[in-house]
Structure 1
Amino acid sequence: MRRVFSSVLASVLALAATAAFAQNKPPLKLGAILDMSGLYADITGPGSETAAKMAVEDFGGEVLGRKIEIIAADHLNKADLSASIARDMLDNQGVEALIDVAASATALAAGEIAKARNKIVIFNGPASIRLSNEACGPYTVHYAYDTFAQANVTGLATVKSGFETWFFLTADYAFGQDLEKDTTNVVVKSGGKVLGGVKHPLNTSDFSSFLLQAQASKAKVVGLANAGGDTINAIKQAAEFGLMKSGGQKLSPLLAFITDIDSIGLETAQGLLLAEAFYWDLNDDTRAFSKRFMARVKRMPTSAQAGIYSSVGHYLKAVKAAGTTDSAAVIKVMKDTPINDMFAKNGKIRADGRMVHDMYLFEVKKPSESKARWDDYKLLATIPGNEAFQSLELSRCPLVKK
């Protein structure tokens, strides 16, 4: 009897010790570096933090006996601050991987910090093609979209529709410059012509002088190589200037989101052609996720926010499968495992870190075609990932073997 009691007691003590050990394990922290208060706050911001937390909850809240935490910080659209936050998260706060890093200049800065520490960084909000080219690293992933795909899908469709002469309004930093360059290549390759362009500061409130130059160019298309609040302001002020109605010019926002269209309104935005990586009303899976997101955030998710949910889930599954948070082991599983969820079907992370998936060309509905708020897009085409994104053969990533 004593032997049985001793055996049971030993088992109980062993289980208690195991539970205590699990409880004493440090949490697995993911660091989200976001624009929480600036011109990209609706695109990423609190919505991206919420999407990341939803992914953690749906995964079960812990992995390898460690509780999962999302640590969020506001980079204020300053590259030096983004780098400082990344350094503090990785060196002092015990963060295992970085996510989002909204905006390209801030992403390039934080990416270098992660690269130096051999930590995984997953970009969703930023679009610069440099992130999977010159600035690529063994543990970097560019997930949702990039300037090449946006230019390729929107620019090609616009030129094919007979709008072959272009003038650019470009945000004067890495993202805008790359978007203009990539779109110019598509336009010229497709037989179009660029008549000129003008660069504007980030977070511009008055586009009047830039729009006057666009009007004077007589270009059929005014390409907006900007995003967020800049895109919204440019479209609203272009409508006030009569660029579309009286001038007969067409605006082409090269990176626009459902939140932008909601802010602009269908009366002004109707007829715009735009490329997106995600839309809430595509299928049952996108609608189910978006309904849950809407209940928390009170707006539909952008493609960046949907990408955050997908990428965090993919990362956590890889950690579980690898049995470790070691970057080399986790990134191998991430690249070896296809992505099938509400964001992507048969998505694949390539050697350059680019996650290849289908892209979509939409036309913004007329007010009479919309049944309710957020019912904003008509699907014109689904572009396979291998056609939308830059080919691996053209990659400038040092990791890609030629």
Structure 2
Amino acid sequence: MTSLRNLQMVALASLMVGTVPASALAQAKPPAQAPAPAQPPAQMTDKVIKIGVLNDQSGLYADLSGKGSVLAAKMAVEDFGGQVGGTPVEVIFADHQNKPDIGSNVARQWLDVDKVDVIVDVPTSSVALAVSEIAKTKNKVFLDSGAGSIDLTGKACTPNTVHWTYDTYALAHGTGSAVVANGGSSWFFLTADYAFGHALEKDVSDVVKASGGKVLGAVRHPLNTADFSSFLLQAQSSGAKVIGLANAGGDTINAIKAASEFGITEGGQKLAGLLVFISDVHALGLPSAKGLQLTSAFYWDTNDQTRAFSKRFSERNGGKVPTMVHAGVYSSVLHYLKAVQALKSDADGKAVVAQMKAMPTEDPLFGKGSIRADGRKIHPMYLYEVKAPSESKKPWDYYKLVRTIPAEQAFRPLAQSECPLVKK
């Protein structure tokens, strides 16, 4: 062995000064080993797969989204193994403050400079619609769980966006239909004055009218309203049987509390919370929230798998169980990583989304599902009623199931889609 090494060193030194032919060096090498079987290399950009969670970290949607969505994304990465084909996966986050300009600036910084591959969550539909267009322009991936606007899979759909969890059509045909069926034949809306609120008011109005009911009017309030007194007085004076709350998060909580203070429900009018999260019910308390009907894609206490995940989640989230937005973030990130693994590349956002659509979805929170051509993630939705305090037997035991809405009925039929990706 020593003589062989010496011969190699002499041959190499001689080759460098041009005194020994290269064949001498080749003769001095030990026998070559058989090469390992060739493996297709993973083509991951920048040697890291970077996920950006963009949402409300400090405002009215912080509880239903916020830090819980960051945790959900991290748990999905951990459960997947922390890497794809040897490439590590990193999760970062930012607060868009529910403002489209701030959200757009963060998205451009992430995609252009920080090399983020996929943006997830993004409640507040006006921000989500802006981010969707940016992701298309930069050919990256956008997975929305927090926003509700049906335009994300309608006229504003892109080949780079998937809309997870819920939308205004699903809410209208869940909660709206149930309230109408129970005698809510006349409505007045308190509507958050931005894309989501407008879409929800329209979709529920369509359901009410199609069922033979009437819409007596609406009033629009600014996002993150502290004082609902003037808006509720208009709703009260309308004489409508149902006051539809086309808002979410802190706005819904404040409106319900104010309605209780004004004695509106005692006067015979009913409140319809058209987008209510379990975090809202927790903030209101069962004495105030009891009897509310709501539509959700996820409830932590559904089965053994949802309970197991929610236990792990709550242990890392200050005892708070996941909302349906958190569940959607987990589910969407998991499916994204599966698609990247199948492609062995994260470089082409459009190709990744196409792969996501080609693969059936399956995870412990939503079960089996699919993604349609318009980018709509399909799964069942559920109509729940909030329990009375006497019915609740443990922490966060808030819902009782009224009915399951099958996946094929939960979302707008593809034939009615305005998405240009859908072949007519």
Fold shared per TM-score above 0.5: yes
Corresponding residue of 1:88:
109
Separation in 2 of the partners of 1:25 and 1:121? 19
- 2:143 aligned with 1:118, yes or no? no
Task: Provide the residue aligned with 2:395 in structure 1.
Answer: 373
Partner of 2:362: 340
Partner secondary structure for residue 333 of structure 1? helix
Equivalent residue of 1:93, what SS? coil
Report Cα offsets for 1:15-38 as digits up to 9, x if no partner. xxx9xx999962110111110001
Please name the residue that 1:216 is paired with.
237
1:264 is the counterpart of 2:277: no
CA distance in 1, matches of 2:109, 2:96: 13
Task: Report deviation, 1:373.
Answer: 2.4
CA contact (8 A) 1:90 1:96 kept: yes
**Conserved? CA contact 2:186–2:242, under 8 Å:** yes
- The aligned residue for residue 288 of structure 1 is 308
Q: Contact 2:190 / 2:218 at 8 angstroms: preserved in 1?
A: yes
Answer yes or no: is 1:192 the counterpart of 2:213: yes
Distance in 2 between residues matched to 1:393 and 1:85, nearest whole Å:
35
8 A Cα contact 2:162 2:353, kept in partner: no
In structure 1, the partner of 2:66 is 45
Gaps of 5+ in 2: 6-27
Residue 141 of structure 1 corresponds to which residue in structure 2?
162
For residue 77 of structure 2, give the secondary structure of its aligned residue in structure 1: helix
Q: Greater CA radius of gyration, 1 or 2?
A: 2
Partner residue of 1:59 out of 75, 80, 85: 80
Contact 1:211 / 1:238 at 8 angstroms: preserved in 2? yes
Alignment of 1:174-323 (within 5 A): 174-245=195-266, 247-297=267-317, 298-323=319-344
Residues 27 and 68 in structure 1, CA contact (< 8 A), matched pair in contact too: yes
The number of aligned residues is: 395
TM value normalised by structure 2: 0.89
Q: Does the Cα contact within 8 Å between 2:54 and 2:119 map onto a contact in 1? A: yes
Is the CA contact 1:22–1:65 (under 8 Å) kept in the aligned structure 2?
no
Distance in 2 between residues matched to 1:330 and 1:211, nearest whole Å: 46
Is the alpha carbon distance of 1:239 and 1:25 closer, same or farther for their aligned partners in structure 2, counting shifts above 3 Å? same
TM-score when normalising by structure 1: 0.94
Aligned-pair CA distance for 1:395: 0.4
**Is the 1:363–1:379 Cα contact (8 Å) retained in structure 2?**
yes
Match of 1:346, SS state, is strand
Indicate which of 356, 364, 379 corresponds to 1:357.
379
SS in 1 for 2:47: coil
Change (3 A) 1:8 1:232: farther
| One-letter code aligned to 1:70 | V
Aligned letter for 2:391? E
Give, in whole Å, the separation in 2 of the partners of 1:96 and 1:102.
19
Compared with structure 1, are the counterparts of its residues 398 and 50 closer, same or farther at alpha carbon in structure 2 (3 Å cutoff)? same
What secondary structure does 1:347 align onto?
strand
Q: Shift in Å at residue 11 of structure 1? A: 9.6
In the alignment, structure 1 segments of 5+ residues that lack a partner are: none
Partner SS, residue 63 of structure 2: coil
Q: Aligned equivalents of 1:241 and 1:52: distance in 2?
A: 41
Paired residue secondary structure (2:299): coil
Question: For 2:115 and 2:333, how far apart are their aligned partners in 1?
Answer: 17
- In the alignment, is the contact (CA less than 8 A) between 1:25 and 1:65 conserved in 2? no
- Secondary structure of the residue aligned to 1:30 is strand
SS in 1 for 2:92: strand
3-state SS, counterpart of residue 361 of structure 2: coil
Q: Amino acid of the residue matched to residue 47 of structure 1?
A: G
For 1:225-281, what per-residue CA distance to the aligned partner results, in whole angstroms no more than 9, with x for missing partners? 000000000001111111112x11111111110000000010011000110010000
Cα distance 1:82–1:22, how it changes in 2: closer, same or farther (>3 A)?
Answer: closer
**Residue in 2 that maps onto 1:394:** 416
- State the shift of 1:333 in Å: 2.1
Which whole-Å CA distance do the structure 2 matches of 1:224 and 1:102 have between them?
17
For the Cα contact (< 8 Å) 1:22–1:66, is it kept in 2? Answer: no
Among residues 58, 72, 76, which one is paired with 2:93 in the alignment?
Answer: 72
Distance 1:118-1:166 versus aligned 2 partners, 3 A rule: same
Runs of 4+ in 1 over 3 A off after TM superposition: 1-12, 21-25
- Aligned equivalents of 1:394 and 1:112: distance in 2? 22
Amino acid at match of 1:241: F
